[in-house]
Structure 1
Amino acid sequence: MPFFSAAIFMMILALNLPVEAGKCPRVCSCDAAKLTVACVGKNLTEVPPTIDEITVKLDLRNNNLQVLPRGAFVLTPYLTHLNLQRCNIIKVKEGAFRTLGRVVSLNLAYNKIDVLYQESFDGLSSLKELHLDHNRVEEIQPGAFTQLGVLNMLALTHNQLVYIPNMAFQGLHNIKWLRLSHNSLNNLAPEAFTGLFTLSRLSLDHNELQFFPTQTMTRLSEVTRLDLSHNPMTYLGEESVSMAKLTHLYLDHMSLQDLSDQALAHVPLLSHLDLSHNQLRYLEPLSGPKELASLNLSGNPIYCNCYMRPLREWTRAGSVKLLGACAGPPHLSDELLQAVAPLDLRCRSRGEMLKDEFEEDSESTGSSPPTAKPTQKVKCPVNCDCDVEAQHATCEGRGHTKVPRGFPIKTQLLDLRSNHFHYLPANSFPGTSQVVSLHLELCKIHEIEGGAFRGMKNLFYLYLSDNDLTSLDPGAFAGIPELTYLHLEGNRLAQFPGTALAVLPSLFVLHLERNSISKLEPAGLLSSVTPKLRELYLTNNTITSIAKGALDSAFLGTLHLDSNQLKEVPTPALSEAHNLEELSLSHNSIRWVGPNAFQPVSQRLKRLYMDQMGTEKMSRDALAGLGPGLKALTVRGNQLEQLPELSPLTGLEVVDLQDNPLLCDCALLPLRRWMENVSLEVIATCGHPQELRGQKVRDVQVFVSCPESSSPPHQEVVVEPRTSKVKKPKPSLSKAPGVKARPGKPKAKLPKPTKSQPQRKPTAPKVAKSKKTL
């Protein structure tokens, strides 16, 4: 008993003694009372070995760890919170977290992880929150999460997932919220979510699902909230949704043109249905939901005639709040649906009504109703699977060396990824005129002959990501005039493929990330080649220069140039990009930002990202011209001691000034005043003088003694930036710049595609109505 008492005494003593000086790594900040260690932005390449064993919270953000080896945290077994954001982590080796049985929160956001291996999270038996957002995850290996039996929330947003295989989340016995937003998901295996018996909330918004995944969702017996907004679905067929406990369903900002009155027949508890911003002209009363309290039809071209009367009577009888307004006829235009009386919803004469119905039918595809079963079995190429009713066909990963032929004529989604085609000759896809989405990722393609896609007149999405293309034939995309979304990321293109894009008059979004493009020249670029291009992604190339005129475009709204090799803001090149709304320059080596750097795009710019550029100085007038229209500004992780004038930026909703060594003296008084006058939280800390280092600008008292006129003179003095203080940052593989509105809660870049004027987001071709998917 005395020995036991002595042991308890020694444990209490150890927990209350200050941390020894030798136990706190020299570059870190340690709090003995709270048992926390912070080593933020120190360019560490490994976990410091001298961190005290009893540490419970470890913050290693903004370092350069790259690989987490086995037993990386063996010396800190008592951790409960571990933050590894923005550490350039590429791989987590088996057993990296094996000793961390007490960790409840692990943040791996904003790294470069592309595969989640089977034993990646082994040992995290107490983990409740896992943040993997803003990585490059494209594969989840079986068993990746089997050790996370108490996990409540898993965030996989802003990654590169295109497919969820069967049993992908096996082992998550206590999961409550699964976040898969902002990926490229277009297919979910039938058993993708099997075993998630406690899941109550699922976020699948901002993906590329063209059909409601009925078979997959039916297995989610406990889900109450489902978000499928911003997916290109055009139709919801009979009994598409069968989820007994679902209460909130978000289907907004899609391409819905029709909705069966039986689509929600098996959703009895649904209380909130959001169908806003689709293409619905009318809607019938919905069979199934008995508890519906809110139906949102805002942003739809609702035509308020007799066809809408049954719905209006149904919502009135059930006291359903009906949101939205009439788009026509003229005498009811802009009238709130909730205010329109059923008797006001009238049609013209019977003959005119029949004529309208006939014309409406003639505009459809002419195919039989999607619920009708095929009268005969349709053939399918050998070693492929064809779902006639869903109009999907897949030969994914079947080892094909030539493009198979003989798909059903009405196929609309054709998935050929992970084969070995190497070369696509002319006319490679005969009989596929109805295909809307074609997947050719990871097929080792190194050459595409002119006319390879000829005849695919309805092709809207084309995925050629992660192949071996070094150049493109001028006629490579001939014959696909409706192509709107083109993915060429992850190839080896050395030049902007301007001539090949000239035959794509409808091109709206172009992905060229992870190529080898070194410069942008005026010849064959935006204005003359892709006049409707709205979004251009050039992240992770080797761009060193952008010539004036290279970016001229009346419609370009989103431009990502992050993780390139630019030395200065390409101001001259932006001179004719007057409608640019989002610009990312993060992870370039731009040490000096001069006056009026963004003047050419100041009228429309809403989001500006300049993180981790090694910037040492910005002119006081660097942001001149930008005003209330700017909504997001990030300059995180630079070497700025002073900041430019921010007072005109009264419309900011997101701002990130963290991890800059600001000089807290009277010259910074304008920033302090600005921070006091804005409603959002601004995180900025002092780097100098030494006695104020690490303190928040908002909290220090140094500004009390500053004279009223202490702000720098308006006359600009150009000072050459220092060259010795900062190492050139390594390019990042992340797809989006880091943004923070609140500490510890990373926010994502705003969703794409941007739907602002003057160019409206293209509407996907109407896909035949179906209630099943592959």
Structure 2
Amino acid sequence: MRLSSVLSAAAGLLVVLLYVSPVETGKCPRVCSCDNSKLTVACMGKNLTEVPPTVDEITVKLDLRNNDLQVLPRGAFLHTPYLTHLNLQRCNIMKVKEGAFRTLGRLVSLNLAYNNIEILYQESFDGLSSLKELHLDHNRVEEIQPGAFTQLGFLNMLALTHNQLVYIPNMAFQGLQNIKWLRLSHNSLNNLATEAFAGLFTLNRLSLDHNELQFFPTQTMTRLPEVTRLDMSYNPMTYLGEESVSMAKLTHLYLDHMSLQDLSDMALSQAPLLSYLDLSHNQLRYLEPLSGPKELASLNLTGNRIYCNCYMRPLREWSRRGGVKLLGACAGPAHLSDEPLQAVAPLELRCRSREETLKEEFEEQDGSREPAPPTAKPKKKVKCPDNCDCDVEAQHATCEGRGHTKVPRGFPPKTQLLDLRSNHFHYLPASSFPGADQVVSLHLEFCKIHEIEGGAFRGMKKLFYLYLSDNDLTSLDPAAFAGAPDLTYLHLEGNRLAQFPGSALAPLPGLFALHLERNVISKLEPTGLLSSAAPKLRGLYLTNNTVTAIAKGAFNSAYLDTLHLDSNQLTEVPTDALTEASSLEELNLSRNSIRWVGPKAFQPVSQSLRRLYMDETGMEKMSRDSLAGVGAGLKTLTVGGNQLEQLPDLSPLTGLEVIDLRGNPLLCDCPLLPLRRWMENVSLEVTATCGHPPELRGQSVRDVHVFKSCPDSSSPPGEKPATPPKAPKTNKPKPPVLKASGVQARPVKAKAKPSKPTKTKPQKKPKAPAVTKQNKKTM
């Protein structure tokens, strides 16, 4: 009886313990429903105007659908640092303020679909270093500011469908180092910058269907080496020329429901792995055998008016030899009408006499026979220069690759996008574009231009984007851009400019971004460089020049926030040149020959600097005080692929979210103890490996035990022992730990508050008249 009494008492105690367990004691907002066993909170459709402040901090899934939040303020989720899934659909959100998600370092899925967001700001998504999926579909996004996605290094899928984008600028998706699928369907895209998708080296699926692209963006797509699936359907393209599709790993291409009337047999010659091609529901009458794809298994021609005569015989024989399945049916002649293409034998594809063929085709067009189904609304005939195409409705005109030696004249007066790339102009005289006063975006890439006379763009008072990339310019007339006062984005990369074109920029008071990559600029002098030439310049890109020297104060601008000097010939950090760049946030010095970083190297920009890149410079040593002054504001630091054996004290960098130390032969001995101690006490996954001594080579700094023998290994001299991070309270279930490869920020303190470095609010980016909601077909 005693034993049974003990067992009974134990069972009773167990019931009591269960009753008072953390599963029942968690906080739950009054209007929400909570499942403490699954750590989920649901507050759908409760007319909430703010994120409930009483949500339990250990919650991992929060559903706030169908509320009225409107604006997400800074630190909106400060009290829920362990969230992995957050649903904010249909919350009437109009703006995401800087730092709204800054504490959500474990979030893997964020759903912001069906809201009213118009602009993606530079730091809207700061802190989401573990995010895998971001849904921004069904909003009103019409502008992506530079750097909007730089913090999302682990993002796999980005959905921007059903928005109001008309143009994708260069480097728009910079920072998406692990992106697999980018969805841009159902926008109003009519132009993509050449470097729009630059840096997306892991992207394998791109959706651009249901947009307004009139030509295949060949140069843009060549920047996507890993894409296997590309959907371009429902775009108003009429023709694909030779080598239009140059994508080495592409396997699936969707070009259905367009307006294709012709397709060069060499259009896919640079897509050798293509296995599925959908050309259904176009306006093709016949098709020649396609050169290039060796793996093609299926070709869909359904819904085209294919005329099955002798002109189709080569395609049918080619498909039979290569085992290519043809989908679709013959539209004529009468005896083969509706016959599946796959079933028609090559010998049946015969041509009658020319008179009979013309008569039959005339009957079909005249209506004597059953009329062809309508495929596209006929376009209104407009005045257009010879050998060019103009579309009044889309306000586009293109003469791309037509062999012009002089700029054509006589474009429709309301033209806003003018594409003249890949011609042979050589020289642009004054007033080269009369009647183009409404043009917003002008493309002159690959035109072999070696001289631009002063006033060449005179009268182009609305010009906002000018592309002069990949020409033969060696210098610029001081008045080259006079007469285009609203020019904001200027692309001069890929020329032969030997000097910074300061005097030529003077007529452009609103210049925002200047691209000078791939020129031969070797020196940067301070006189008139920025303060007088481009006083409001925000982004300066000098990658891949031959810069060896930069004068003191060369970057004397109160607005400059992005400076790319990577892949040049610098031998030291240009500290003196940065003395007046008080707003600089991003500095890229990678791939220079900087072997030594001295004391206070970044002191002039220490308060504003957020992202610092110094990869592959051959760096052998960093002074102990090299990062002096750089503190909590720095979010990204990369020094990968160098020759560093030791590192300076990183403890002041309390705001770091990304750090890359990979590829350095670190000396795993007592001098490295501060780094080891720092690694153990930060909320970052840090990848660092030993290079010395030989017996530890390749091992993680975190795993080796050599530091246990170091004197005073418990704490550095003169300092108190480091306080270990607090664990979550014992009366609450511990949230799951998310593992992710690479380097990312992950909060470990249950109630840790992020540092708030003071920062000058950046000037609002000038808005192009062409990218407003009222007019979405400009560029």
What's the TM-score, normalizing by structure 2? 0.49
What's the TM-score, normalizing by structure 1? 0.49
Q: Which has the greater radius of gyration?
A: 2
